[in-house]
Structure 1
Amino acid sequence: MNNKKLLSLLALKKVSNLGDSSIKKLIKTVGSAEGVLEEKTKNLIKIDGIGTTRVRDIHNPDHYKAAENELAFIEKNKIGCLLYDEQDYPDRLKHCIDGPVVLFSRGNIDLKHKKILSIVGTRQVTSYGTKFCEALIEEIAPLQPVIISGFAYGVDITAQRAAAKHNLQTVGCLAHGLNQIYPKSHKKYVSQIEENGGFFTDFWSTDTFDRKNFLGRNRIIAGLSEATVVIESAEKGGSLVTAEIANSYHRDVFAVPGRTNDPLSKGCNMLIKTQRAHMLTSAADLVYMLNWQLEETKTHTVQKKLFVDLNEEEKKVYNFLSVNGKELLDVIALQCQIPTYKTASVLLNMELKGAIKPLPGKLFEAI
């Protein structure tokens, strides 16, 4: 690790009201984080959108001292540091303008070439939400996705525990530094998650826990993944903020519908009604919309593990595809006389049995 570069980035993070996007802009203009700290004030002031007040604070020596103290903590506790312009930084987060310039990590996280799904929701999750979350993760487990969440009460910890149960990698994004765990009752899950996954944060060891940190944490949850799933939410809440951020990043958002008079379904129903989220009623919806499919290297193993005789509807679909070649879901549903919502589930089951495979353009063909 280039300690001088890291120290410079950390020092810039201490500048008052200088966010990640502005830091990136300064570095792009000057050439390096070290260069920004060394550049003359008169030259920095000329950079559009930075402002005189922030420029003057860049040369505050206290910032570099604070950075040195944090680096000492990082080295002592073997904290990973992912820098926004380096190869090991999460791919999808690189495309977020406000993605952290330094992302701290702990555990055994590997996001390269992975299907990544964020799952969020209310802290007061109901039995309905819990069962849906657990069933969703169980059904998509053969596809080996990474499950991202906030390690909070309710939906978050339900999703991460279910992921660990099915030996899926799971990552908790924290709203505080890696010197603490909130809530404290979740400490018992830390070692299990770090064995196959871990934790991300951009907060320092000196940052005390504060609810205002959730907004910063939520942008990491949304930015890491290709899609965000909301399972139960009131009319207002952090989950809806995460969904809005995901939409701003042009990522898919899914919401689980509920009864119209259920307070913890109002947020999800609103996302669906306002077309800010796809309706999610089963794992098949997710697999279809994201065009997920089994990795070629795992296909044989999964086929062998899950293969069973096809039921009557699956035989009908398989015979149709065998004769007609690749087709769209809607065409399959029409020709096989199976409701569209049910056809999606049938196709997912057939994929897991190794009988069909999805293709780009939301097509399916028999194997």
Structure 2
Amino acid sequence: MPRTPRPIRLAELAAHLGCELDGDGACEIAGFASLGQARADELVFVRDGRHARALVESAARAVLAPSDVDVQHRTVLRSAHPARDFSRLMTAFAPIARPSEGVGPGAQVDATAAVDVSASIEPGARVGPRCRVGARSVIAANATLVADVEVGSDCWIHAGVVLRERTRVGNRVVLQPGVVLGSDGFGLVPDESGRPVAMAHRGRVVVEDDVEIGANTTVDRATLDETRIRRGAKIDNLVQIAHNCDIGENALIVAQTGLSGGTVVGRGAILMAQAGTTGHLRIGEQAFVGARGGVHHDVPDGARVFGAPALEERLWHRSVVALTRLPELLRRVRRLERGVGVSRGDRARDPAGGEGASGGDSDVD
């Protein structure tokens, strides 16, 4: 559970959020916790009345809760957005410890690199030729900036990240461990004998301000121009973004999604887990692609699609319902066939049905 460096009065927390306080403002907390694990001196939060029922079993004396939730025998910070404000408080009052400024032992910084004096280069990190690292940014252990890489201010480049040649990273960007930006894209051309040969990739990756990218996600550089992740986009772990993709502002891409080359994701679009696209299509602004959605065509602005191949939401629901009715429909067809004297042998010989037409009879008779 995250602990605060010092005890903090609830009145101070309320002032930080600008929210209403019900109860004793002099009450102090020393950390933040979940409902089930909280100690008396830790702050918890509830999203709604249903969530609040768990408060009965919680030891916490202080809670962050919506104004319409009845909370008894506890000091309450009232918030319209409890989860968001709880995160704000943890960030402000229980921050992650930053490493010391400067270049750590065993780190390598090329003589042609420019590293701000307030930046932190941890042991084992490598900052290559002509790279630039901005103010208060952290390059964690064993991260590598290959060459001509630019990292803005207040970034956190976690352990094992690799930023390939000419990658540009804006301000307040977080790259979780194992992220790779700027590898060659999977572009292949056949040689004279038909053997696939990797096409040269000389573009770059550009990551704008306030982007967060999860662990072991890969973003390939463009063939000639840019693969771009726009301001505020949030990308989960284990995502593959191919060459020449363009991810819109504030888009959300959930784990194990794969985007083929040239995919454009509009502003505020959401792609749920294990979604995938064929190349050179557009997912519109504020569009939604359900988990495991297989997108083979453009998705209009604001549309919601599900399934593989991805279908508009209502059509997908109808298709799923129809699929669940297939066994009963097949049983009815078999009964009708028997009524008119069609045998299994007739079905097996039917060119429209093919040799395998009767293979599933035992499941539906």
TM-score category, normalised to shorter length? under 0.3
TM-score for both structures, normalised by structure 1: 0.23
Structure number with larger C-alpha Rg: 2
Larger RCO of the pair (alpha carbons < 8 Å, separation 6+):
1
User: Larger helix proportion, structure 1 or 2?
Assistant: 1
Question: What TM-score comes out, normalization by structure 2 length?
Answer: 0.24
Whose strand proportion is higher, 1 or 2?
2
